[in-house]
Structure 1
Amino acid sequence: MYTFAGVPASKGIVIGPVEQIDHGTTGLHRIVCDPFRERALYDVAVVLAKDELRRLSQRAKGPDADILLFQIALLEDESFTNEIGDYIAAGAGGAAAVERAEQIFAGRLSNVDDEYIRERSVDVCDVCRRVVDILDGRPRRRLHLKRPSILVADRFFPSDLFSLDRRMILGLASNQDSTVSHAAIMARSMGIPAVVQLGDGVAALAAGHRAILDASDNGTATLVIEPDGAHVAQADCKIAQSRLHGRTPDPVAALPCLTKDGTAFRLLAATNASSDPEEPLPQGAAGIGLLRTESIILDDIPEDAQFERLQEKLQCSDGAMIAVRTCDTNADDDSPWTAEMRKRLQGHRLFWPQIKALLRAAPYGDLRVLFPMIAGVEDWDTCLQEVDTCREELRREGHEITPPPFGCIVDMPSAALLAGELIEHGAQMLAIDIEDLTRYTLALVQDSDAAVSRVDNPAVQRLVKEVVQQAKAHGVEVYLCGITIESISRIPVYLHLGVRTFSVEPAALLPLKKLLMEETLEQSETDSGSEA
């Protein structure tokens, strides 16, 4: 048994077999040709490398895609190309020239004071290694995990992890990486344990053995290779007390959603369309009450790709509700991309791919579609006309469509006051965006921070009460969304006004549940009855 101490990069504890990512040794058996041929071979290698990176980027998301785009940009950088070209012209081989450029450009980043920028030097090493592998004729086969394993490496390159089935990764252990390396960031986003800075030679020593990766403590983390029975038993106890991927379960998550006097309520999660379709629901969530889709428009995702994402998310939801908020032309959020959003959303035609994808995906799960920024009945009717147009297009393409329930995001005071009319015109559910409704009601459109602290304003409460009463009178589902961790202390008042379902950002879900479980509604129900 060998125990090595490192730095925890992502909390958790796992036991499993160890697989090593070995970057090997370059430079063996090279034959240097004349400079013209070496330059031609280098140019071809760059084309192949960029093609590989583009294929990887099509499957990557968020920061992962940004890293791959950075690598492509580096290969197109004039100073980088000139550095290599000059060295080849001086008589060096193409592979050696790339390795020299790697040392120069990665060295510049490594000397920067900012630790995060220093860690980006690994991206330079990663893309240069890819080009060198092509020039050396080395196979670029990635590791195929046949069983869930702990991955070890001297240092992880971004491309090491992109092509792996992330469900097969139990944890990451690195000799050199830091807590702000790509591997550490990815581990935290995946919710798997990771330990870094184990020291030279540890990865090679652990390869092929069984190990315990323990990053459950804040200060230290260990990799125990070939642990004895006592260590395994101790690790099993820790794992038994924690959830999958090392998350400690909150006992409140398993309790029923009931107030002190037994009134039931329901909690839904809020998320973004760019999130991993296979990511499980947060603890205690009964479904997704708000799936935002701005990224669909910003990234110009075509209809078929949208459909595939939605289909996968619905199939992974095990029947749980998913309410999708369509993107709106008014781009009501004060985000940096608002101007870009408005530019791209000129005319309803740009919405059709999204609506058609939603219509096609509906049979695969409990899908609901929510239209935001509805000022009144005319806006609502226009949305339904767009749906009819898309449905007719799909029918001509040979698709038989059964539309999902359509609902309205109540984010404007006029929509709250006209809730009854919207329902009579076909709105099958109402989702009250409490933050946006507060912003528009109290003239705080440009100050979302102030809005969060006033979501329980009496004027907002009156609007919410009107929506709840109209929904109840028409037998339509209504719930509160737009709830953040900063606003949860002000949300219980809406439980007393008749709201029974709340859509919350994941970090706020259990804290809100604890607050609502402490409420007693007998008095508020009596007051409501006397008012009626």
Structure 2
Amino acid sequence: MRTFTGTTASGGLTIGPVARIDRGLIGLHRIVSDPYQERALYDAAIVLAKDELALLRKHAQDPKDADILLFQMALLEDESFTNEIGDYIAAGAGSAAAVERAERIFAGRISNIDDDYIKERSVDVCDACRRVVDILDGRSRRPLQLDRPSILAADLFYPSDLFSLDRSMILGLVSDRDSVTSHAAIMARGMGVPALCRLGEGVAKSAEGHTVVLDAEKSSLIVDPTPEQTEAARKRMAQLQHRRHRPDPLVNKPNRTRDGTTFVILGSANSSEPSEIRAALDNGANGGIGLVRTESMILNNFDEERQVAEYRKLLESAEGWPVVVRLYDPGADDGAPWVQTVQTLAARDSLYKTQMRALLRAGGSGVLRVVVPMICGVQGWDECMHNFEECKRELRREGISFDEDLPVGCMIEVPASALEVNEIIEHGANFLYIDLDDLANFIYVQPQNEREERRKTDTTVVKRLVQDVLDAAAARNTDVTLCGIPLNQLDAMPGYMYLGARSFCVENACLTELKASLLKLDLSQQRGREA
């Protein structure tokens, strides 16, 4: 019996055999030909890799999975990515080694970006590059075949590891290196299966073929449990299953603290899919959908009409609840391998303006609000508002109906915006979002090799800036929502209630957990404003 401790990515408890995703050894017995032949081999491998990705995308079980595969295909077509590999091959390197080098360069750039959503896309670079290298090395790319329900284990999960599996056969996920914001973690929470990450090097391999107790409630993995441990785990599983079948009483309970102070908890979504919206509302998002990410529309290259249709579908799924859509921002992806492609699209198709026009047109179909990310002070805000006004003038000239009063808010992610929040409100921000995780990391400007361990979001300096924003907003009767709340820092949110925060946006799996902690508060002595 061996016990390992990790980080909980998705709660729950299960018992079962471990099946490991083994990618084997890389780079053995390679023979390097002349540059012309190596380039030809690389070009052929790219064609085959894209064909495989297209087939996976065709059979993807989830629209988000299809978007990830589309991104991988776009990466393999990216000019800067291709040139990097071509230059190294021309210098005499083998094609497989050139792809591995490009993988390290481009994945490294993404992993150093201060945005958790974008940061996790580094694994997509590794996934796509590993597929090309496997083709060049002649290794099998057949997915793992599960003949019985199993707990999947990996050093690091690649998105394509999970796309083609029968998800009814997956009991849980364990990983040596994945994080709570990785695709594997998000998928586990969506499936409702337990998952542990950050178990440490070699744990997945040592657990392969063994029976384990995966206890994400206690963040532990017990390999070869004793009969007593197995029996105890089965009893707790039965209790958890019984509770799961009963409606969570917190979902319909009013959002009021012990002293009667009201608060709002908003859900989030990575796409406009109705299932994501319903999951948030069913889990107690009493204020609606607080953050819908739209990055996938860049990769899908949706035109204005398609975007209008997507936003209207989103609003219809929300059934009258408010929905906040976050604009995408190519500038925030600086250094990412697709940035050149995105900037080219923006120049050719007025990407940013297209989204603004589509949102203005969709605004009349429901309760829609728009939040603008990565605003660096009042000047950046003014430039964004100028673009919105220009879009409105265009739509008026074209005789196209739109929402003249579409609410637009500012995302406070960098200290400059927090310090100039009074001016930003005076210049037209209808509401504010404070991204705690990004704000903390921009404040401390962590060295690249330390970014894996995120700064706490409730340090004195972060709280001081948040307090200033809350005070400025309260003086001008402007709504503020806290978002970017790491899963392992939900316990810091009661402290922000004492500062005056009354609205929170969290991942759907955390809705009831956050609500439970806020219901216990007594703010009768708290000096902040009421909701």
Normalising by the residue count of structure 1, what TM-score does the alignment of the two structures yield? 0.55
Alignment of 1:88-107 (within 5 A): none
Asked if residue 285 in structure 1 is aligned to residue 285 in structure 2, the reply is yes
Asked if structure 2 preserves the Cα contact closer than 8 Å seen for 1:411 and 1:433, the reply is yes
Asked if structure 1 preserves the Cα contact closer than 8 Å seen for 2:258 and 2:519, the reply is yes
Query: Does the C-alpha gap of structure 1 residues 297 and 57 become closer, same or farther in structure 2, counting only changes over 3 Å?
Result: farther
Displacement of 1:279 in angstroms is 3.9
- Partner-residue secondary structure (3-state), 2:261: coil
Q: Distance in 1 between matches of 2:506 and 2:326?
A: 14
Asked if residue 509 in structure 1 is aligned to residue 511 in structure 2, the reply is yes
Which residue pairs with 1:270 in the alignment?
Answer: 268
Q: 2:143 pairs with 117, 123, 127, which one?
A: 117
CA shift digits 1:170-224 (9 cap, x unpaired): xx99xxx7879xxxx9x9898699xxxxxxxxxxxxxxxxxxxxxxxxxxxxxxx
Tell me the amino acid that sits aligned with residue 285 of structure 1. A
- Partner-residue secondary structure (3-state), 1:502: strand
Identity value in percent? 34
Q: Distance in 1 between matches of 2:466 and 2:395?
A: 37
Which residue pairs with 2:378 in the alignment?
Answer: 377
Alignment of 1:15-414 (within 5 A): 61-64=63-66, 117-119=143-145, 249-273=247-271, 275-276=273-274, 279-282=277-280, 283-286=283-286, 287-331=288-332, 341=342, 344-345=345-346, 349-403=350-404, 404-414=406-416
Structure with larger Rg: 1
Displacement of 1:450 in angstroms is 3.4
Q: Distance in 2 between matches of 1:331 and 1:294?
A: 11
Tell me the amino acid that sits aligned with residue 365 of structure 2. Y
Which residue pairs with 2:212 in the alignment?
Answer: none
Tell me the number of residue pairs that the alignment of Structure 1 and Structure 2 aligns: 346
Displacement of 1:466 in angstroms is 0.9
- Alignment RMSD: 4.7
Q: Distance in 2 between matches of 1:280 and 1:427?
A: 29
CA shift digits 1:376-418 (9 cap, x unpaired): 2221111111112222222233312223101100111111111
Tell me the amino acid that sits aligned with residue 377 of structure 1. V
- Partner-residue secondary structure (3-state), 1:331: helix
Q: Distance in 2 between matches of 1:66 and 1:406?
A: 28
Q: Distance in 1 between matches of 2:439 and 2:307?
A: 29
Q: Distance in 2 between matches of 1:519 and 1:335?
A: 42
Query: Does the C-alpha gap of structure 1 residues 57 and 401 become closer, same or farther in structure 2, counting only changes over 3 Å?
Result: farther
Q: Structure 1 stretch 511-520 or stretch 262-271: which is displaced more?
A: 511-520
Normalising by the residue count of structure 2, what TM-score does the alignment of the two structures yield? 0.55
Which residue pairs with 1:454 in the alignment?
Answer: 456
Tell me the amino acid that sits aligned with residue 292 of structure 1. R
Q: 1:492 pairs with 491, 494, 501, which one?
A: 494
Q: Distance in 1 between matches of 2:408 and 2:382?
A: 12
Query: Does the C-alpha gap of structure 1 residues 249 and 485 become closer, same or farther in structure 2, counting only changes over 3 Å?
Result: farther
Which residue pairs with 2:444 in the alignment?
Answer: 442
Q: Structure 1 stretch 482-491 or stretch 441-450: which is displaced more?
A: 441-450
Q: Distance in 1 between matches of 2:488 and 2:452?
A: 9
Q: Distance in 2 between matches of 1:257 and 1:118?
A: 45
Structure 2 spans left out of the alignment, 5+ residues: 1-11, 13-51, 73-134, 148-162, 173-184, 194-238
Q: Distance in 2 between matches of 1:281 and 1:318?
A: 13
CA shift digits 1:244-299 (9 cap, x unpaired): xx6x5332222221222221111001221254467404211021111111111122
Query: Does the C-alpha gap of structure 1 residues 120 and 440 become closer, same or farther in structure 2, counting only changes over 3 Å?
Result: same
CA shift digits 1:126-157 (9 cap, x unpaired): xxxxxxxxxxxxxxxxxxxxxxxxxxxxxxx9
Query: Does the C-alpha gap of structure 1 residues 66 and 400 become closer, same or farther in structure 2, counting only changes over 3 Å?
Result: closer
Q: Distance in 1 between matches of 2:251 and 2:441?
A: 31
Q: 2:432 pairs with 415, 430, 433, which one?
A: 430
Asked if structure 2 preserves the Cα contact closer than 8 Å seen for 1:324 and 1:368, the reply is yes
CA shift digits 1:87-130 (9 cap, x unpaired): xxxxxxxxxxxxxxxxxxxxxx9xx9999813499xxxxxxxxx
- Partner-residue secondary structure (3-state), 2:328: coil
Q: Distance in 2 between matches of 1:263 and 1:241?
A: 32
Q: Distance in 1 between matches of 2:298 and 2:65?
A: 18
- Partner-residue secondary structure (3-state), 2:354: helix
Q: Distance in 1 between matches of 2:311 and 2:391?
A: 17
